[in-house]
């Protein structure tokens, strides 16, 4: 593939930087929660890894490149739960509003 989602495999972009485990896996609490929710939804059989990757690849390329890693996971989880009717747009909108009231942006 040749898309924004595959830069790691393309030539002429330099080596992939690796911190060799010196950086924490989660920079912010929302990333930890996103990871946990994403994994629990998979463990419950509501979505599968291959469809998550496919959903991430549907993100707008500019948004994909400008957003943090776990935002890709959040996007895939939201979109798959919405498309399968497990979550409604109204429920998602309401929860986002509740989190904003609590001062949590993600």
The domain total for the chain is 1
- The verdict on residue 39 lying in a domain is yes
pLDDT of residue 8: 56
Please report how the helices 49-56 and 69-83 are oriented relative to each other, as an axis angle in degrees rounded to 10.
110
- The verdict on residue 94 lying in a domain is yes
Q: Is a pLDDT exceeding 60 seen at residue 6?
A: no
- The verdict on residue 7 lying in a domain is no
Note whether 31 and 70 are within 8 A (CB): yes
- The verdict on residue 41 lying in a domain is yes
- The verdict on residue 16 lying in a domain is no
- The verdict on residue 14 lying in a domain is no
Range of the domain at 93: 27-101
| pTM for the predicted model, two decimal places | 0.78
CATH number of the structural domain spanning residue 80: 1.10.472.20
């Amino acid at each position: 593939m040749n898309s924004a989602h595959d830069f790691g495999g393309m030539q002429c972009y330099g080596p992939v930087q690796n911190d060799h485990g010196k950086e924490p896996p989660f920079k912010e609490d929302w990333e930890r929660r996103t990871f946990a929710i994403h994994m629990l939804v998979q463990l419950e059989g509501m979505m599968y890894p291959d469809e998550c990757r496919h959903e991430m690849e549907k993100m707008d390329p500019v948004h994909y490149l400008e957003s943090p890693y776990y935002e890709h996971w959040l996007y895939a989880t939201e979109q798959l739960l919405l498309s399968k009717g497990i979550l409604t747009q109204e429920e998602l909108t309401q929860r986002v509003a509740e989190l904003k009231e609590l001062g949590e942006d993600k």
